[in-house]
Amino acid sequence: MPELPEVETTRRGIAGRLTGAAICEVIVRNPKLRWPVPGNLDEILAGQTLQAIERRAKYLLFRFKHGTLIVHLGMSGSLRVLSTDTPVEKHEHIDLVFSNGQRLRYRDPRRFGAFQWTVEPPEKHPLLCKLAPEPLSGEFNTDYLAKALAGKKIAIKPAIMDQHLVVGVGNIYASEALFRAGIVPQRPANRLSAEEILRLVDAIRAVLKEAIAAGGSTLRDYVDSDGNAGYFTVNSYVYGLAGKPCRVCGSPIQTLRQGQRATFWCPHCQH
C-alpha cells in the first residue's frame, strides 16, 4: 500500500519517539512475511540502542551500531508506537519493545512486507543495491530520466513504477504524476519529448512533496492512534475517479489496466 510519502510520513511519525531508545525485547508472533523474519531477531536487537531511522525508496532503515534492520511495509503494512500494555489484534505480527516503555508494533494483513537484518552497509544489500535515485534528490533530473527511458518500449506508467528507474512512485502517484505532466499513461517510455520528460520530473517531485506535506499535516497521534498511522487521504485528480468529471476540464476520467494495475487518466488533459 504505502508509497514513498506514506513511508516517509511513517518515518517522521516514529523517529522522534524512538531514536536513542534501547530495545529490550523483540516479539515475533508470525515470521511469515515476504521472506521469513530472522528467528534470532530478539538476540540480535535486545540491549541495542536505535541510532536513527532513515528511508531509502520505500524501505525504512533502523540503524544500530552493529547493523541495520531493513523494513518494508508491502501493500498493507503499518507501524505504530504504542504503550506497553496495548492488546494485540489480528495481523499484528511484530513488536519492538523499548526499555522506556514504548512499543513499535508492525501490522500487515497481507504479509507482503519484510523485516530483514544486515550487518553490511544497507545500500549494499541485494534489496537496495539496484534501486534508482531518490526522486527528491538532485540526482533525479531530466538528464537522468532521459537516459533511463531511452530504448524502453514499455508504457510510461509502468516505467515510472519500476524502482530501478525511479524509486518511491507507486500505483496512485504514477497516475497522478502523469496527469500533472499531461502525458497519456500508455505512451511508450522512449517516445517522450525532452519537454515532456522535464514536465514528468517536475510532476513526480511535486506530487510526492505535496503528499508528504499532506501526511505531515495529519501526523499527530502516533501513540494509540486509529491504526492508520502513516496513511492519509490524497487529494487526487484522477486516481480512483473513473467516470467522474476531470477537475480541470470536466471530461470523464478514464480507466484501464496496465500490468494488472488500475490506471486512471483524463483523455482531454493528457496526450
- What's the Rg (C-alpha) of the chain? 20
**Phi–psi pair at 114, nearest 5 degrees:** -150, 140
User: Is residue 58 among the annotated active site residues?
Assistant: yes
Q: Does 116 bind DNA (CB under 7 A)?
A: no
Q: Which is nearer to DNA, 4 or 200 (CB)?
A: 4
Of the candidates 31, 38, 109, 216, which one interacts with DNA according to CB under 7 A?
109
User: Is residue 25 among the annotated active site residues?
Assistant: no
User: Is residue 8 among the annotated active site residues?
Assistant: no
Q: Could you give the CA distance from residue 41 to residue 31 in angstroms, rounded to a whole number? A: 10
By the 10 Å C-beta count (0-12 exposed, 13-18 middle, 19+ buried), 2 is classed as: buried
Residue 165 corresponds to which cell in the numbers above?
A: 528507474
Q: Could you give the CA distance from residue 125 to residue 117 in angstroms, rounded to a whole number? A: 10
Q: Which is nearer to DNA, 23 or 156 (CB)?
A: 156
The region of 44-52, 95-103, 192-200, 253-261 touching DNA under the rule CB under 7 A is 253-261
**Beta carbon of residue 10, minimum distance to DNA (angstroms, whole number):** 10
Mind giving me the DSSP string for 183-245?
--TTSBGGG--HHHHHHHHHHHHHHHHHHHHHHHHH----BS--S-TT------SSTT-TTSB
**Span 37-96, contacts to DNA by CB under 7 A:** 57-58, 72, 74-75, 90-91
Strand partners, 79: 106
**Angle subtended at Cα 104 by Cα 100 and Cα 110, rounded to the nearest 5 degrees:** 170
User: Is residue 267 among the annotated active site residues?
Assistant: no
Of the candidates 16, 20, 29, 32, which one interacts with DNA according to CB under 7 A?
32
Q: Which is nearer to DNA, 109 or 182 (CB)?
A: 109
Would you name the residues annotated as active-site residues? 2-3, 58, 261
Residues annotated within the binding site for DNA are 91, 110, 152
Which residues form the interface with DNA (CB under 7 A)?
Answer: 1-3, 5-6, 32, 34, 57-58, 72, 74-75, 90-91, 109-112, 127, 152-155, 158, 161, 163, 170-172, 231-234, 259-262
